[in-house]
Every structure is written in C-alpha cells, then in structure tokens.
Structure 1
Amino acid sequence: MAESHHAFSRSDMLPPQPPPASEVGVIGWLRANLFSSIGNSILTVLALIAIWWVLSHIWPWFAHAIWNAESYRQCREIVAETWGPEAGGACLAVIRERWKQFLFGFYPSDLYWRPTLAFILMFVALAPILFSQLPRKMLWFSLIYPGLAYWLLWGGSIFVPIVIYAGFAAAYYGFVLGARASASFVAPLLAAVFALVWWFVISGPLINILPNIGIQSVQSKQFGGFMLSVTIGVTGIAFSLPLGVLLALGRRSDLLFVKAICVGFIEFIRGVPLIALLLVASFLLNIFLPPGTNFDIILRVIIMVTLFSAAYMAEVIRGGLAALPRGQYEAADALGLDYWQGTRLIVMPQALKISIPGIVNTFIGLFKDTTLVSIIGLLDPIGLITSIRANAAWNGMVWELYGFVAVLFFVCCFGMSKYSQYLERKLRTDRR
C-alpha cells in the first residue's frame, strides 16, 4: 500500500502554465461580458441585429452627405443626380455655411478671438480644480478667471470686474469680523451685508469716477449660439455649487430663522418650472426695478438658472450630509474645531464625495436646460435653428441642424460624466 501511495504523489512542482486562450484577450472578454450564459448570448445576438438594422438605414444618409451647396433644394438635386431619385442624404452644407453662427451667434466676427481665448483659458482655470496633481498656485488664476472672462466677452472698462471682485473682499472682511462673535450665524450674515452694500451702493458711483480703460464693448443681444450656452451653463455651475452648499447647511441648521428661509427658498424653487422663472426674469423683473434701470438680460437669466440649480444642489448635498455617520460630527467637536472649521475640514469633504453622482447629474441637467432661453428670445443653438430654418434657402431642414446641436451637447455632457467617474474612482476609500 505504501508503494501505491508513492505512485500517485509528485516529488516536484509543475511549472506555471499560461491561462487558456479562451479565458484571456478578446475571446476572454467576449465570453465574460457578452456570452457568459445562454440568456446573455441571445440578448447579445439580438442587440447586434438591432444595431446592424439601425446602421444599415442611417449609414446611407451619412454616406450621401452633401457639404457644398447653397440651399436645401440644391442638396436634394445633387443627391438625386448622384445616387438616384430615391436616395437620401444629409445636407451638411448648412453646417459648413453656418458653423460660426452656431458657435458665436451674432458676435462681431473681428472679435472672435475674445470668446475663443476665454474658452481656452476656461480649461486652464478648471485644471487645478479638477486635477489635484497640478500646482496649487494655479488656483489664483482660477479665482481671477471669472472676472477676466466677463471682461473678454462683454468688454468695456477693466475696472468693472475689479470693482466686482472688491465686493468679495468686503464680504471676506465682514466674515472675519463676524467670526469673532460667539454666534455662528453672525459671520455669513455680516459678509452678505458688506458685499451687498459694496455692490449696490458703492460700486456704481465708484465705476463712474474711474477712467474708462478697456476694450470694445459688445452688447448682450449679440451673444448667441453655443457660446451663450457655455456662458450661462458654466457660470450657473460655478455659482450654484457653493450656494447649494450654504442652502444645505442652512436647511440642517438649528437656527429656526435660517432654517425657515432655506426651506422656503428650496421648496419654492423646486415647485416652479425653470421656464416660469426665465419668463419672470425676462418680462416681469423690470417692473419691480427703478425706472431707467438697465438690468442685462443674460445676467438675469444667469441669476435665475443659478438659483434654480442651487435649490436642487442643496437637496443633493443634504443627502450626502445625512448619509455621513454621526461620529464624524462628534469627531470634529472632539478635536476642538468650531462649526465652520469642522464643516470645512471634516464634514463637507466627505459629504461632497458621497454626493458626486448627484452633483454631476445636476450639472448636466443645468447645462442642457440652457436651451430653454430660446423661449425668451435669446438665440442659443436651438434658437438659431429656428432662425436658420426661417431662411428660404434652408427651409425644411430638421435632422441636420438638430443633430449638430445634439452632438455639441453630447460631447460636453459625456465629458462631465466621464470626469465624475474618474473622480469617484480616485476618491474611493474601500479599495483593497
């Protein structure tokens, strides 16, 4: 029996063998993701059939695309002469002719360099915020950029954005003074009072006495196209996040007055459609302003879009705060941190990490909602489509125009979605 035992025992280890070819590479991926079971295999085959059917009908439309034509009728004639009377094809000549208008609206053509430069600098300003590996000194440019972008787009005196920034300095000074008080609500209240007094009382007369040094002014009615959507969307995103954080903290506050104001604001904004707020900003707001007041229409839209998005952002962030264990708040107290220090250093970073999917979803929704400004007469890409189709040369076009706008928005929204996934992977703390 001993000899039989040794006959089936090895005295040395087998060398490592490569994995089966069916488990690695393209074949392995297909088996794991598309053909892992009979049901998945059937669904994969049905999906491939559906994709083939869609592409077989759409591809000829792109393959027969016409880029050089002076009208929609001429496009149809060229397609019929080249591929037959029953053939169909995209008339992309309208995109070739009007792409500058889609991007810049009615902005003066000799000043295209200004919105182009502002768009490029936007990525430079966002880089240190989105990617922590970059030098922190670049954040100074991120703070300067909003005023610089405003000056590049609208032009005028260079002192206008400087005076606006001085209002934030006044708010910071008020916050520092209020922080010395025992009550936690004094600091933000005093900061708001200092900023409002500076912007609405001091800044106007101050700008009038400063020298007019700047660049050519551009009226808001000349804005349009994708530039208008980016201006409203990026500004709304940049300001709705901090405002949403403050509203979320205010809604969870123990101070009855602060909590009541925040709850009332959030519930009112969430109960009213955005289009109603835009109509108020466009037609009704001037009724309540002093006679002769010139309140820029784009500024009014930005304010309404920001307030609308901030209300939804507040609820997203409140969910992150509610999901945070109570021990984190107690840890901040145990370390001897006051309310604002504990919120900034311990509570809010964790709550924002939890809320990343909801925050990005709100950002994407806000950016897409910028197309609603066409209802109040602003010529965003959707508004420009109506204007272009009113031209007799391009009357009757639908798919080419709306498809081009859809591609522009898809690229931006998909980029935001992919960045949020990257940020979630980077901030994961449960990885082994």
Structure 2
Amino acid sequence: MSDIQFVRTEMLPEQAPPATMVGPIGWARANLFNGVWNSIITVLFGLSIVWVFMNLMGWAVSPTWEAKSLNECREIVGGAHGGACWGVINDRWLQLLYGFYPLDANLLSAVSGVDPELILSDARAHIATPIVMILGYWRLNLALVLMFIGLAPVLWEKVPRKFLIVTILFPFVDVFLMWGGSIWGPTMAFVGFVLGYLVFNYVRPAIGNLIGVILTAAVPILWWLFAAGPIAGVLAQATPALALEAVSSRQFGGFFLSISIGIVAILGSLPLGIILALGRQSDLLIVKSICVGFIEFIRGVPLITLLFVANNLLNIFMPPGTNFDVILRVMIMVTLFASAYMAEVIRGGLAALPKGQYEAADALGLDYWKAQRLIIMPQALKISIPGIVSTFIGVFKDTTLVSIISLMDPIGLSNAIRANQEWNGIVWELYAFIALLFFVVCFSMSRYSMYLERKLQTGHK
C-alpha cells in the first residue's frame, strides 16, 4: 500500500484572532492579568475602587438640595454624617461664583417690575434664579462672553480672523465692565500699548535695535505713569455719561475672581515670557542682564511673598496720588510671576531647535524679528506646548492663594460661609463644588493642549 500525498491548492481564508487576545479582554489580559501578582493586585485595587465609589455615592446622593441649614440637612438624612448637605450649594452657589459683586437691581426691576429694595434684600425670593444670574450680573457675564469670543480666533484657526479685534480690545473692555467708572481709564491704558507699537515699528528701525527696544518699553511706561491719569480725568469730567457704576475690589470674589486673575496671568505671561526668553538669549548686554535678573529674582521668590508685596508695598513705589486697585496689583504680580516661568519653558523650546533652523533663516536673508516670527518661534512654541499648558494650569490653581491677602476667592468665601450660623460645620460639600469648578477648567486646558499637539504633529508616527 503506497502513501498518498496531498498538497492544498487554495489558501485558507484568514481567521479572526481569538476573542481573548484582542479587544477589552485582550487588553485586560495583557495589562492587568498577565501574571499571578498582577492579577492579585488588580483584584485588590478593583475591590478598593468599588468600595470607595459605593461609599462616595452613598454620601453624595442625598435629598438635601432644598435644605436651608445644616440642622435641616441632618434631619433629612437622619444623622450627623448620613449624607452630603447640598443645601449649602443651592443657597450659596451664586455667591461662590460671583462673590459680593453688586446686583444690577435697576435692570432686574425694569424687567420684573419688582421694587429694587426687595431685589437687593433677596432677589431670588422674588425673581427666577436664571434671570437673577443672567441679568443681575450682566457685566460679569458679558465680560465672560467677550473673553470666549476673544480666545476663539487664538485657539481655533477656523474662526474668522476679524474676531482678533475682540482679542486685542478685551483686556481693556474687561476692566471697564468689571470695575466700572469712566471708560477713559482703560482707553488711556490702551493708548500706551499703541504708542509702544508705533515706536517699535517706526522709530526703532531708524535709531537702532538697542535704543529702539529700550524706547519701546520706556514710552508706554512713562505714558501710564505721568500722562494717562490726568488726561483720563479731564475726559471723564467732560463725558460723565460714558461711565458705569464703580465697583470696589472688596466686592469681587468667587470663582469669577479666580477666572479673572487666571486669564489675565495666562494671556499676559505668554507674550512676556517670549520677550524674556528672547532677551535672555540676546547679544545686547543690557537687555540680557535685565531679563536674566528679572527671571532669576522672580523664580527665587515664593508667589505668596509677591502677593504680600502687591497688597502692601506696591503703592509705595508709585508716584504720589497713584492708587492701583488691589486686584490689578495682584494681577500684575501673578502675571510677572508666571512670565518668569514661561520664559524658561520657551527658552527650553528654543534650545531644542537644531542649529540648522537658525542657519536656514540666515540663508533666506531674514532679519532677526522675521526669522523669529516665521521660523524659530513657531517651532519653539510647538515643542513647548506641554510645558506652557502645565504653567497655565499651575498659575490658575495658584490663584487660590489670594485668599491669604483677604480677597474672597472661592476658598475665602467657603470660610465666610462656614462662619454663618446656618452652615457652621459644612466642609466637604463646599470643597467638592470648588474642586469641580477648578477641575472643569484645568481638564479643558489639558484636553486642548493634547488636541493642539495632535494637530501640529508633523513627525512620523
């Protein structure tokens, strides 16, 4: 009997991999259950997470939203620690968002017909809460809307470039809306930047880089110190109608105060950081010395020390009669603090660029500023995106330090709320709400940075 041999004449179709090797099951086997010890640790951690989650949900899911005091919460949940007391959030969430900023009682009265005195005593008792929030705080809400409109053309390239005018004007309109008073103060501040721009573009090329750069910084500063105030005062007296009701800094507070300080510091620290980073690498001895000294001094001093300086000492160095608002002083100090760290982040991006990029710019015949704008800085900023966003997030979270100098940010307000007899003893509910607000903003910045990194990715994967 002879052996019969057979050779297959067609290819078998590809078979799907085993279900245990791909998908969620495959990932779990490869990463969570790829050994005895890893499996034991995974099970223990899983049980711990389930235990924490169940206890947290048991505490958080509490029917206390309508409670008017901590004692009422305890009666509802049946014990001193039976569940969260969310009544404090329902009662004080507008205060946590807006602080003690005054309601526009006249506008609310015109819309609702309720007497302004009743609105000031307890607006939510007479008018629906959404109306109180939108119209009562219309100045802060409008500033927030303008902020998003101004950021849109910076963050997304599909937004029409004409919205950049909002980006440029927003800081000055924001000051006018939030603090009120005459419109001419912010206008004169804007004129100072215009003067610096004119000097840099039209005077500097004629007198040389060194003197031109010094004048670019000196002219706006001299304008703000000696000319802006008197001129704004004369124009304010001539046009009293161009003014809003003035609001003092002690009336600011809540999460909106943190947003305001954080946004100003973020928007101001990036261009200042770029200038300081370029100045630190400059061949001009005076410019380099000033930039190095500023960066090293700011990085060597804690932020809380600078906040105390802003609160107590900054006015001493101003000309007689000058009175900077305390929040403006804090914004300036936080911006300067963030710009020093931003300068080092950007300097790292500049150092990471190959030398050939600088040589390519020279070969194209570009001058220093065109080379930086068109070739060097775009690549350095792309490299520095993770560090830049980390600095932004850190600065935004550091705004809670202003509570130490008696500004009513959310942390400061939580202390004031707990001092009230009705809510004395409330802790975790307030901190949970504040943490949620900060998490939403910081997580959004983190997600955007990841989107930007993917969008600007030019290398091979």
In the superposition, the TM-score normalised over structure 2's length comes to 0.87
Bigger mean CA deviation after superposition, 139-148 or 312-321:
139-148
State the partner residue of 2:51. 53
Structure 1 segment 174-253 matched on structure 2, within 5 A: 174-181=199-206, 183-210=208-235, 211-212=239-240, 213-253=242-282
| 1:216 Cα deviation after fit | 2.2
| 1:261 Cα deviation after fit | 1.2
| 1:12 Cα deviation after fit | 3.5
CA deviations over 1:102-149 (Å, ceiling 9, x no partner): 000011122401111211222121111111122222222211222222
Taking the aligned partners of 1:285 and 1:331, their CA distance within structure 2 comes to: 46
Taking the aligned partners of 2:337 and 2:150, their CA distance within structure 1 comes to: 25
Counterparts in 2 of 1:207 and 1:125: CA distance versus 1, 3 Å: same
State the partner residue of 2:183. 158
Taking the aligned partners of 2:407 and 2:50, their CA distance within structure 1 comes to: 40
Correspondence 1:89 to 2:83: yes
Sequence identity (%): 59
CA deviations over 1:282-338 (Å, ceiling 9, x no partner): 112233334443210001000110111111111111111111111111111111111
Counterparts in 2 of 1:172 and 1:192: CA distance versus 1, 3 Å: same
Equivalent AA in structure 2 for residue 298 of structure 1: I
Structure 1 segment 16-55 matched on structure 2, within 5 A: 16-35=14-33, 40-55=38-53
State the partner residue of 1:108. 102
State the partner residue of 1:401. 430
CA deviations over 1:4-27 (Å, ceiling 9, x no partner): 78x32x433444544543445443
Bigger mean CA deviation after superposition, 359-368 or 15-24:
15-24
Q: 1:109 is paired with a residue of what secondary structure? A: coil
Structure 1 segment 76-155 matched on structure 2, within 5 A: 76-80=74-78, 85=79, 88-110=82-104, 111-155=136-180
Taking the aligned partners of 1:359 and 1:313, their CA distance within structure 2 comes to: 7
State the partner residue of 1:417. 446
Does the 8 Å contact 1:184/1:339 carry over to 2? no
| 1:225 Cα deviation after fit | 0.3
1:298 paired residue among 327, 331, 351:
327
State the partner residue of 1:376. 405
State the partner residue of 1:64. 62
Taking the aligned partners of 2:446 and 2:26, their CA distance within structure 1 comes to: 28
State the partner residue of 1:283. 312
Counterparts in 2 of 1:16 and 1:184: CA distance versus 1, 3 Å: farther
| 1:164 Cα deviation after fit | 1.9
Structure 1 segment 266-345 matched on structure 2, within 5 A: 266-345=295-374
| 1:195 Cα deviation after fit | 1.4
Does the 8 Å contact 1:177/1:187 carry over to 2? no
Considering only aligned residues, what root-mean-square deviation do their CA atoms show, in Å?
A: 2.1
Bigger mean CA deviation after superposition, 214-223 or 367-376:
214-223
State the partner residue of 1:359. 388
| 1:38 Cα deviation after fit | 5.0
Q: 1:21 is paired with a residue of what secondary structure? A: coil
| 1:34 Cα deviation after fit | 3.8
Does the 8 Å contact 1:278/1:301 carry over to 2? yes
Bigger mean CA deviation after superposition, 214-223 or 241-250:
214-223
Bigger mean CA deviation after superposition, 145-154 or 122-131:
145-154
Bigger mean CA deviation after superposition, 343-352 or 191-200:
191-200
Taking the aligned partners of 1:261 and 1:187, their CA distance within structure 2 comes to: 16
Equivalent AA in structure 1 for residue 164 of structure 2: L
Taking the aligned partners of 1:327 and 1:187, their CA distance within structure 2 comes to: 29
CA deviations over 1:58-100 (Å, ceiling 9, x no partner): 22111235112221122112221xxxx4752111101100000
Equivalent AA in structure 2 for residue 105 of structure 1: G
Bigger mean CA deviation after superposition, 87-96 or 196-205:
196-205
Counterparts in 2 of 1:127 and 1:29: CA distance versus 1, 3 Å: farther
State the partner residue of 1:262. 291
Does the 8 Å contact 2:262/2:395 carry over to 1? yes
State the partner residue of 2:121. none
Does the 8 Å contact 2:146/2:166 carry over to 1? no
Taking the aligned partners of 1:273 and 1:87, their CA distance within structure 2 comes to: 39
Taking the aligned partners of 1:228 and 1:86, their CA distance within structure 2 comes to: 33
Q: 1:238 is paired with a residue of what secondary structure? A: helix
In the superposition, the TM-score normalised over structure 1's length comes to 0.92
Does the 8 Å contact 1:115/1:153 carry over to 2? yes
Taking the aligned partners of 2:96 and 2:234, their CA distance within structure 1 comes to: 39
Does the 8 Å contact 2:59/2:83 carry over to 1? yes
Q: 2:209 is paired with a residue of what secondary structure? A: coil
CA deviations over 1:25-68 (Å, ceiling 9, x no partner): 44344445544555544443232112012113222111235112
Bigger mean CA deviation after superposition, 235-244 or 42-51:
42-51
Q: 2:185 is paired with a residue of what secondary structure? A: helix
Counterparts in 2 of 1:78 and 1:266: CA distance versus 1, 3 Å: same
Structure 2, unpaired ranges of 5+:
105-135
Taking the aligned partners of 2:403 and 2:84, their CA distance within structure 1 comes to: 25
Taking the aligned partners of 1:304 and 1:252, their CA distance within structure 2 comes to: 24
Does the 8 Å contact 1:178/1:188 carry over to 2? no
